Chains A and B, each alone.
Chain A
């Protein structure tokens, strides 16, 4: 009788532990924002045999909520330690050689999304501005005041794009229209949205919004995101 009780106790205990483990590993917050409207083009959900996440599967966690950029007076400014400062219009960026790739964004909150991104290489934009020999840091700014920084070499060692389409549709305002950085191998907070300025600097100590609030400056996926 006592033996049976012990077995039942162990089984219940194992069930509870299993439930907790399952809940921790499979918890995905329901994140579809209510404000997303129907899209004019069709979103693809599979690319070359790979399943893609919905563009509504992101969780809205920006610092000041979605930004609605007026594209008619939008400029992407590249300035700082450059020999040829540039102000690109939205169309000018789109006219450059574009690239597509499937990359997964991993948020520090625990959720992730796999998206087909289309955009232009940051390296191509920087080359047009002709970085000064002293420039070693790239600081990206967004219209809401958010910022993040990278070593200049990151964009030359990797094919990093700023995206204007996700899953074959124009990036919606809630996701970062007009441009979002696809910072592969970096935690989600390094994927800056609503980019409007790119500064080249020699200040290697600069810390972006979350980096100055306790998150890792590098934000590498294979390392802890705690700074």
Chain B
């Protein structure tokens, strides 16, 4: 049980980290679109950045809650 919790936490943590990076980049892609478009060689346009940013919100929140939940559960299991 403890092992699977630890493993889940690691997976969630890394997905959350990747998502946070994408969330930040797409956020800049909306407000600083001239710069981001240039850096990404025109791949990340403002419209695309906005779409990704918009659809990432819910998965990001779910992962954040999972991350907190798993951390608390592991702490509780360790305390037993």
State the A residues within 8 Å of B (CB): 5, 9, 12-13, 16-17, 20, 24, 29, 59, 61, 63, 108-109, 210, 213-215, 226-227
Q: Would you call B61 an interface residue if the criterion is a C-beta within 8 Å of the partner chain's C-beta atoms?
A: yes
Question: Bound state CA distance, A24 and B54, in angstroms?
Answer: 12
B58 to nearest A CB, angstroms? 11
Contacts of B47 in A (CB 8 A): 210, 213-215, 226-227
The dominant DSSP class at the B interface is helix
> Knowing A29-B31, A61-B31, A109-B31 touch, does A213 contact B45 (C-beta < 8 A)?
yes
Closest to B49 in A: A214
Residues of A within 8 A of B34 (CB): 63
Nearest residue (CB) in A for B46 is A213
Name the residue of chain A whose CB is nearest to the CB of B33.
A61
* Known contacts A17-B65, A20-B61; A109 and B30 CB within 8 A of each other: yes
Nearest-neighbour CB distance to chain B for A146, whole angstroms, equals 13
Contact pattern, B 11-33, Cβ under 8 Å of A = 1, otherwise 0: 00000000000000000001101
Given contacts A20-B61, A61-B31, contact A214 B76 (CB under 8 A): no
Least CB distance, B21 to chain A, in whole angstroms = 18
User: Interface residues of B toward A: which range?
Assistant: 10 to 19
Interface residues of B (CB under 8 A from A): 30-31, 33-34, 45-48, 50-51, 57, 61, 64-65, 68-69, 72, 76
CB-CB under 8 A for A9 and B45, given A109-B30, A109-B31:
no
**A13 and B69 form a contact (CB under 8 A):** yes
In the assembly, what is the distance between CA of A12 and CA of B68, in Å?
10
CA distance A214 to B45 in the complex (A): 9
Across the interface, B76 reaches (CB within 8 A) one of A5, A12, A63, A227, namely A5
Chain A hits for B69, CB < 8 A: 13
Task: Kindly report which residue of chain B lies nearest to residue A212, judged by CB atoms.
Answer: B47
B33: chain A residues at CB < 8 Å are 61
Shortest distance from the beta carbon of A178 to any chain B beta carbon, whole Å: 25
- What is the distance, in angstroms, from A93's C-beta to the closest C-beta of chain B? 31
B48 proximity list for chain A (CB < 8 A): 214
A63 to B30, CA, bound (A): 12
Report chain B residues within 8 Å CB of A5. Answer: 76
Given A59-B31, A213-B45, A214-B47, 19 more pairs with CB closer than 8 A: A9-B72, A13-B65, A13-B68, A13-B69, A16-B64, A16-B65, A17-B61, A17-B65, A24-B57, A29-B31, A61-B33, A63-B34, A108-B50, A109-B30, A109-B31, A214-B45, A214-B48, A215-B47, A226-B50
Residues from chain A with a CB closer than 8 A to the CB of B72 are 9
* CB of B9 to closest CB in A, whole Å: 15
Among A29, A63, A213, the one with the most B-chain Cβ atoms within 10 Å of its Cβ is A213
The CA-CA distance from A210 to B76 in the complex, in Å, is: 52
| Distance (whole angstroms) from the CB of A43 to the closest CB of chain B | 25
